[in-house]
A and B are shown apart, each in its own frame.
Chain A
């Protein structure tokens, strides 16, 4: 069964600290993995997209890694800011259809405190 599991479910950190969010997946055949940021009451916004051949991708203070062999990804946030408080969603696309079906994780709810 194709699944995307994220951990932790929620995380509280102090402003300025770093944190790492985890994503494990069983989706096959694999096409790409995306990380989205979803602010409360808003739609998700894409942070990174990584294909099979890429093992790291950065977007400002966000750095995503991918290990396609172990089917794991992480999102590292450096020098956190209050505006980083949001839900971070891991999404994996399969290669099995024209649509490129997307499998969504439940997200990690990050809260950054001053």
Chain B
């Protein structure tokens, strides 16, 4: 069982609100990731981090921002939520080691966001 947590699990919010999705892991992993997943569709990488003070944008353009002040914490923030942000957001972490050929990503349970 992976020790990676996301809160809230479900969130219904109105357009224009600022929201922060929390992600924490207790495994000491260096790498952390945020993915967006719509029903029946593939996961899309929106942000990742190699470690403290490291953040990068992923493949999918996103209006969200992230921060990595502590190793175990990787929150994602939407300054002004819109209906197009409705989706499931998955956080993941992995160890930064070697060539990464056997690097396993551990996923959190996800946050389902509905913006009205």
Contacts and interface: CB of A to CB of B under 8 A. Distances in A.
Interface of A: 4, 31-32, 34, 41-46, 49, 51, 89, 93, 98-102, 104-107, 109
Contacts of A41: 109-110, 112
Given A31-B100, A49-B104, A51-B101, A43 B110 contact: yes
B92 interface: yes
B110 A107 contact: no
Main SS at interface, chain A? strand
Interface string B74-116: 0000000000000000111000000111111111111010000
Contacts, number: 57
B101 A31 contact: yes
A104 B42 contact: yes
B105 A51 contact: no
Closest 8 CB pairs between A and B?
Answer: A43-B107, A104-B42, A100-B100, A104-B43, A106-B42, A46-B104, A44-B107, A43-B108
Nearest to A97: B100
A99 B109 contact: no
B101 A106 contact: no
Tier of interface size on chain B: 20 to 34
B40 A106 contact: yes
For B42, B100, B109, the residue with the greatest tally of chain A CB atoms inside 10 Å of its CB is B42
Contact of B100 (A44, A93, A109): A93
Nearest to B59: A101
B92 to A, nearest CB: 7
Contacts of B100: 31, 93, 98-100
A105 B42 contact: yes
A99 B48 CA distance: 9
Given A51-B101, A100-B100, A43 B42 contact: no
Nearest to A3: B42
Nearest to A4: B42
Nearest to B88: A41
A32 B101 contact: yes
B12 interface: no
Nearest to B110: A43
A114 B48 CA distance: 41
